[in-house]
Amino acid sequence: MALDKLNARILRRTPGPKELFDRHIKRGYSSICANSLENIGHQMTVAAGEIEDVGAFADSLSENRIGIMSIPSAQVRECSRRQARCFAVRCEQMIRPIRVSWSFSGPQFVDESGHMGHNIAMKYLIFLLTFSSTTLWASTPKVELILQRDDVIWGFDFFKNGRIVFSERGGKLAVYDPVKKATTVLAGTPLVFAKGQGGMLDVRVHPKTEEIYFSYSEPVKGGATTALGRAQVRDGKLVGFRKLFSAHEPNSNTIHFGSRIEFKDGLIFLTVGDRDNRHKAQDLSFHNGKVLRLTEDGAPAPGNPFAKKAGAKPEIWSYGHRNPQGLVLDAKTGELWEAEFGPRGGDELNLVKQGLNYGWPVITYGREYYGPKIGEGASKAGMEQPVVHWTPSISPSALTVYRGSRFPEWEGQFFLACLSGTRIQRVKLQNGKAVEQEILLADQAARFRNIRTGPDGYIYFSTDDGKIGRVYR
């Protein structure tokens, strides 16, 4: 069977747990490859040397009625067991690790530099695909539409009773009741600067008090700035609204406000973009281009790294950021992760640590929109490197670390909501490096604005065309 014909017969991705492999392959071999086969049918890399005797492994596949495909000849011995058909791909004469990504057009072999092809570099690769005419085990992620509005849904979060509070960039805060399937637009919201990228931005529910904290573009003399507010939600309106913080300094630009909110240990992290004054991201006397750490009342948090530095803003936790619109606390590790837009390329995923400089605009993997390089290059002593960077840009507007029971194969992995990338980007890290990436929901053709792991363990997202959706399988 030719490779293209085989691809045409694969109707959907059907990733399954490691138990699927154990059911079809002798346990001796599955235990050897256990670390590489956690995401069967999704993506996996078997490094050279993990399977000492590939021939014996292939024989085991055959004995257990699993088809064997060799590349490039694509000769296939095909046989079935129950309703599933399985194929193992054996790639020879390869030198360096590659990753396998899956799309409806078939498998793609991609080297670490991002180049595609079948003559890439690794000694052996075993790739197990399982599929049938019906869905077996897990299947391609599906989307359930929760809510449709007419404006950009910039942020959302969950109350304990299951209601969803969300922000619309045009200036509204609203609550959706999934039981009544009804939306209530809240009265009493502050005036926002709803121009360009400005407006009502992120919204979060305090994990204990259930007050809402929200960031917004505040109209002030000289233009606008990023601000943080707090209020209770009661009887369809905001009660006790208080502006907690306003970033220095405002300007008339309409871009790069940030801004995401995260809670940790009774404190608040807030991101602020460089407001298109890029040099201020390196200047500690401004909030531009910073991750801030505040008390729940908006004051500088005790122990901030620059609190005693003359002229520095005491709220600053880290600096050298361009436009950080993604921020998430890993509930298991306690690590704070941030995603930000580069210019033309150079989007970043960063592990945010106290007092560190993340480089913008001195170092970046991106370029000016009209072509020239920016700053001094891609690295410099004393400035942090991103954990992952993307060129071309994917425009990561939000991120979540998956911790839940609905998708055990995704435990601890990152999901980024992408605007220009019009997708959700899945990233698996191992020892501080990306070992897998996958594009999800590209068929939705949406600008994904926000993404969160819901209290029910599903992944929720919002889009610029006014949707809130839920990913399930």
Catalytic status, residue 206 = no
Instruction: Give the chain's length.
Output: 473
Find residue 428's DSSP bridge partners.
436
How many degrees, rounded to 5, is the angle at CA 219 between CA 214 and CA 225?
A: 65
Q: By the 8 A CB rule, do 143 and 471 touch?
A: yes
Which DSSP helix (H) or strand (E) runs through 3?
A: helix 3-9
Residue type (1 letter), 361? P
204: number of CA atoms within 13 Å, CB side?
24
Give every strand in the sheet of 172-177, ordered side by side: 153-158, 164-168, 172-177, 182-185
* Residue 90 CA: distances (Å) to CA of 94, 346, 363: 11, 35, 41
How many degrees, rounded to 5, is the angle at CA 132 between CA 130 and CA 138?
A: 60
Provide DSSP, 60-90: HHHHTT-EEEETTT--EE--EETTEEEEEEE
| Cα 283 to Cα 269: distance, rounded to the nearest angstrom | 19
| Cα 184 to Cα 174: distance, rounded to the nearest angstrom | 5
Tokens of 313: 């803003």
Tokens of 222: 């000289």
Residue type (1 letter), 328? V
Q: Phi first, then psi: give them for residue 205, nearest 5 degrees.
A: -100, 125
Q: By the 8 A CB rule, do 357 and 320 touch?
A: yes
Q: Which of 24, 256, 321, 389 is catalytic?
A: 256
Question: Residue 9, exposed/middle/buried by CB under 10 A (0-12, 13-18, 19+)?
Answer: exposed
* Residue 387 CA: distances (Å) to CA of 62, 199, 427, 456: 40, 30, 11, 29
Give me the active site residues, please. Answer: 256
